[in-house]
Structure 1
C-alpha cells in the first residue's frame, strides 16, 4: 500500500509546488483579466496542454474506455472528430472571438443580442457545470482511486462512504488551484499533468499488449486483434452506441459546441497572447485528439479481451486494467497522473464557472460598479460555493446507471443545443433578433426534452444524436420565423477592439488541410475499407 501511496503523494505535491512557484510573484490574481485569462499571455504550448487536460479526465479514461469495453472502437468518434471541430475553431470562430476581445462566450451574446440573453445563457452554463460536468468528473475520479487504492477495504468502510471521502478530497484539492491561483496556475499544472497523462496513458495499452504477447508488443496486438477484430471497427452499426450515421447528423453539435463555444474550453484560447499563438495551440490540440483514442478507447478493447467480458460494470474496465498491467511501484505515480487529469478538468471548469458568475451575474446585475479586486474576490467565493455543491451531488451519480460518458453527453445537450443554435444564428444570420433568440432558447430546450422523454414514453426510441440534429434544425427555423415577427433593427457587425494582434498564423491553411486528411485516413483505416475484416 505504501509503495503506491508515497509516490502518489510526492508527485501530487510536486505539481502543486511548481504551480505555486511560477505564480507566486505575479499580480495575475488581482485583476479579472489576470485571474480569468492568465493576463492574456498564454503560449501555444500552454494552451494545448490546458485544452487537452481540461478536456481529458476520468470521464474519458473511465467513461469512454468503459464504452469501448462495451461497444468497441466506434466510440472513438467522440475524440477523433474533435479534430475537425478544432479546425473550425482555428479558422472561423477564434479570429472573431479575439477580434471582439471576449473574456466569456456570453459576452458575444450580449453584443449580438442583449443583456438578458447573456444572463440566461450564463445560467444554463452554470447549471451544466454544477449539476453535470463537475460532479461526473469527481465521481469517475473516485471510481479510479477506489479501484487503485481499495480505499473502502483498507479503511474498513462501505464503498459509498469511501466515495464521499475521495470526492471531497479531490474537490478540495482542485478548488485550491482554481480559486487561489486562477487560470495561470491551472495552465501550469495542466502542462505538467499533460505530459504525465500522455506518457502514462500511452504506457497502459503498450504494457498490456506486451503482457498479452508474453514480452512481444506486436504479438500482443496481433493476439487481441485476431481474437476480437470486430471491436476495432470504427464504423458502428445502427443498433450500436455510436452508429456511423450519427457522424453525419447530430455528432457535429456537441463537437462544435464543446470546442468552439464551451466556456471551460475556449477560455484557454481566449488567453492567447495573439491570434497566431492561439491558432497554433488549437491546431496542435487537434493533432493530439486524432490519436487520443489510443489512450481512452484502445485500453477498453484490451480490457474486453483480457477480462473475457467478465466485468459487471464497464466503467471499472480501465482502472482494473491499470492494476493488472502496471508494476506496483508505478501504480502510485500513475494514480497521481490520473488525479492530475481529474484536477485539471475540475479546476478548469470551476475557473470558467467562476468567470461566468463573476462577470456576467455579479458585475452585470448585482454590482455593476464593482472594482477589479471585488470581481476577483467574488469569483473566489462563488467558486467555493459551486465546488461544495458539486461535491454534494457527485456521490449520488452512481444511481444514474452505467455508461457515464453517454449520460454526460445526453444530459449536457439539454443546455448545449439551444445555446449552440443561437450562437450559430448570431454569427451566420445577421437578421436574427434578441426576442427571437429568447424564443429559440425556450422552444429549443422544450423540444429537446420532449424528444427525450416524450418519445420514450410513446415507445419511440431514436438515438439521441439523431434527435439532437432534428431539434437543432427546428430551433434554427424557429429563430428565422420569430425574427420575421420581431425583426432586428440593424444587422450585427463584429467590431475590432484591438485587444490583441489578430493576424492569422502563416501556416494556418496547410495545417488545417493536413489535420482534416489525417482524420479521414484514421477512419478509413479502422473500417472494412482498411484493416477491419468485412462481416
Structure 2
C-alpha cells in the first residue's frame, strides 16, 4: 500500500469536510424546502458543480475506460451528446419547472395530468434509484478505491469480501453527510471536489503519457498517435457498442430524460436562485462534459499500450492511477473518486427522500390526519434515506457477478425506467388536451414492451433504437387517446412567482460555442482526425 497516498487522501477529505461544515453550520434547514432544495439560493457555480459531480462517479471511471480499452472512444458519445440535451433542458424545460415552483419532477406531472400519474412515476423513480442507481454508484467507487490502494491483497481477503467492507464504509459516510446538511452540504463539497477532479483528471493523462514514454511526455504522445489508433475512433459502426446512428435516436432521448427529468439531477437545478443562475449552472456543467473525455476516456487509450493483457479490465483506471501518479495526486484522485461516489450517493438519497415524503407519504397522511409540519417531514425523510441506503449497500457487492458489459448493461436496464417517463413528460409539455388516462396507458405500454424486447425476445436491434421506436409509438398512442377523449378543461400552467424567470442573456452564444466544440471533438476522433494518422 502507498501510505503517503493514503495520508494525502485523508488530508484532502478532511479539508473538504471541514470547509463544508464551517459553511453550513450557521444555516438551519428546518423547512422542507431548505432540506430538499437548499432554500433555493444556490449560485450557478454550485449548481454546475452539483450537476457535474452528481453525474461523474466511479461507474463512469470504470465503465468508460474499460469500454475504451476493449473497443474504442465511441462510449464518449454518452457524455458529448449530453451537451445538446443540457442546452435543450436549459432553454425549454427549466422555465416550465421554475414557473411551477415544483420540488420534484413528478410534481409537474400532477399539475399537468393528475395525482395518480405523479404517484405512478414517483414509484418508478424510487425502484430505479434503490435497485439500480445507488448500488452501482457504491460498487463503482469501491472497485476503484480497492484498485488504487490494493486493500484486498494487503488484508488477504477476497475481492467480494473487500467489496462489502468498502461499500458499507462509503454508504455509512454518505448517510452521515446527507443527514447533516441535506443538499446544501453536498453542494459545497461538490464545488471543492470539482476543482480536485479537474486538477487530478488533467494530471492523470499527463503522467500516464510520461510513464508510457519512459519519462518523456512527447514520446508517450507519439506512441498513442502512431499505433493502435483505432481505439481513438468515436464514430461507431453497427458492430460497436455505441453505433453512431444511436446518437440521434435513443441516446438523445435517454440524455434528455437524464438531464431534464431525473429527480436527483433536476433537483440540483431547482435549488438555483433564479432561471438565469440555473442556465449558467447548466452551461458550466456542459463545459465539464466537453472536457470529460480527457479525464474519463484518455486513460483507457493509454492503458491499451501500458497493459496489452489484463485479467480484469474493470481495474484499468485504478491500476493506472496507482502506477503512474505521484503519491499526492494518487491521494487527490482517490479523494475525488471517493467524493464523487459519496456525492452521487447523497444526491440519490436526497432525491429518494424527497420523492417518498412529498409524493407518497405526505399525500397519504394528509388524507387521514392533520397535515404534517416541516420538522416531521424532515424526520420521515431522514429515516427513509437510511432505509434506502441500507438496501443499496446490501445489493451493491453482488453487482460484481453481473454478466455482460457493465456500463452498457446499466444503460440498458436504465432505459426501462427513463424514456417511458420522459415520453409522458414531453407530451405534457407540448399538449394541453391529452388526458391522464393517456399518461397511464403510455407508461404501462412502454415499460412492458421494452422489457419484453430486451429480456424475453431478441429483436436484433440496438436497445437505443428500440427505445426510439417505442417512444414514437407511445407518443402516437397518447395523441390518439387525447383526440378521442380530450381533457374537459385544457391544461394552463400557472406562475408560482417563487423565482425570477428572466433568462440569461448570453446563453445562446455559449450554447452555439459548445455545440461547435462538441462537433470538432467528434471530427478529431474520427477517420478525418487522429484515427487516420
Output the TM-score relative to the length of structure 2.
0.97
Q: Which runs of 5+ in 2 are unaligned?
A: none
8 Å Cα contact 1:66/1:403 also seen in 2: no
Superposition pairs of residues 198-347 of structure 1, within 5 angstroms: 198-308=198-308, 310-347=309-346
Q: Distance in 1 between matches of 2:489 and 2:303?
A: 58
Task: Give the structure 1 partner of residue 408 of structure 2.
Answer: 406
User: 1:346-495 to 2 correspondence within 5 Å?
Assistant: 346-367=345-366, 369-456=371-458, 460-495=459-494
Secondary structure of 2:250 counterpart:
coil
C-alpha distance in 1 between matches for 2:260 and 2:328: 40
CA contact (8 A) 1:48 1:285 kept: yes
- Alpha-carbon contact 1:313-1:402 (below 8 Å) kept: no
CA distance in 2, matches of 1:462, 1:311: 31
Distance in 2, Cα, partners of 1:380 & 1:141: 23
1:461-499 CA deviation, whole Å, 9 max, x = no partner? 321111111111111112112323432112212211100
1:49 corresponds to: 49
Q: Which residue of 1 aligns with 2:164?
A: 164
1:29-62 alpha-carbon deviations (Å, 9 max, x no partner): 2111111111100001001111100000001111
CA distance in 2, matches of 1:86, 1:529: 27
Q: Deviations over 1:43-92 (max 9, x none)?
A: 01001111100000001111111111111111110111111111001111
* Distance in structure 2 (CA, Å) of the matches to 1:6 and 1:317: 23
SS of aligned partner of 1:95: helix
Matched, 1:16 2:44: no
Which deviates more from structure 2 when the two are superposed, residues 362-371 or residues 82-91? 362-371
Q: Shift in Å at residue 532 of structure 1?
A: 2.5
SS in 2 for 1:136: helix
Q: SS in structure 2 opposite 1:30? A: coil
1:531 and 1:405 map into 2 onto residues whose CA distance is: 25
CA distance in 2, matches of 1:213, 1:76: 25
What per-residue deviation string (whole Å, max 9, x for no partner) do you get for residues 429-464 of structure 1?
2221101100111111001111112322xxx43211
Deviation per CA, 1:90-147: give whole Å up to 9, x if none. Answer: 1111111111111110100000000010011011111111001110011111111211
Offset at residue 159 of structure 1 (A): 1.7
Aligned-partner Cα distance in 2 for 1:433–1:102: 21
Report if aligned partners of 2:205, 2:299 keep a CA contact under 8 Å in 1: yes
Structure 1 ranges of 4+ moved more than 4 A = none
Q: Measure how far apart 1:402 and its partner are.
A: 4.6
Task: Determine helix, strand or coil for the equivalent of 1:137.
Answer: helix
CA distance in 1, matches of 2:227, 2:88: 39
For the residue of structure 1 that corresponds to 2:502, the secondary structure is coil
**Distance in 2 of aligned mates of 1:107 and 1:62:** 34
Deviations 1:322-379 (A, max 9, x none): 1121124542332122101111111111111111111111112234611111111111
Q: 1:5: Cα distance to partner?
A: 2.3
* Aligned 8 A contact 1:264 1:352 in 2: yes
Who is 1:514 aligned against? 513
Alignment of 1:132-147 (within 5 A): 132-147=132-147
Distance (Å, rounded) in 1 between the aligned partners of 2:517 and 2:328: 37
Where does 1:142-153 land on structure 2 (aligned, <5 Å)? Answer: 142-153=142-153
Q: How does 1:166-181 map to 2 (within 5 A)?
A: 166-181=166-181
Deviations 1:264-316 (A, max 9, x none): 111111011011111001011112211211111111121112101x1223221
2:531 match: secondary structure = coil
For residue 242 of structure 2, give the secondary structure of its aligned residue in structure 1: coil
Name the CA distance, whole Å, in 1 between partners of 2:450 and 2:401.
23
Distance apart, 1:508 and its partner CA: 1.6
Structure 1 contact 362–375 (Cα < 8 Å) conserved? no
Q: Is the 8 A contact 1:422 1:441 kept in 2?
A: yes
SS at match of 1:502: coil
Maintained 8 Å contact 2:225/2:530: no
Q: Would you say how many aligned residue pairs link Structure 1 and Structure 2?
A: 529
- Matches of 1:65 and 1:484 in 2, distance apart? 48
2:6 — aligned with what? 5
Pick closer, same or farther for the CA change 1:215–1:157 going to 2, 3 Å: closer
Calculate the TM-score normalised by the size of structure 1.
Answer: 0.96
CA contact (8 A) 2:232 2:530 kept: no
Aligned equivalent of 1:113: 113
The verdict on how the C-alpha distance between 1:290 and 1:252 changes in structure 2, with shifts beyond 3 A counting, is: same
Find the aligned partners of 2:111 and 2:332 in 1 and give their Cα distance.
47
CA contact (8 A) 2:49 2:190 kept: yes
User: 187-196 or 217-226, which moves further after superposition?
Assistant: 217-226
Give the Cα separation in 2 of the matches to 1:408 and 1:260: 19
SS at match of 1:288: helix
On the 8 A contact 1:143/1:163 being kept in 2, the answer is yes
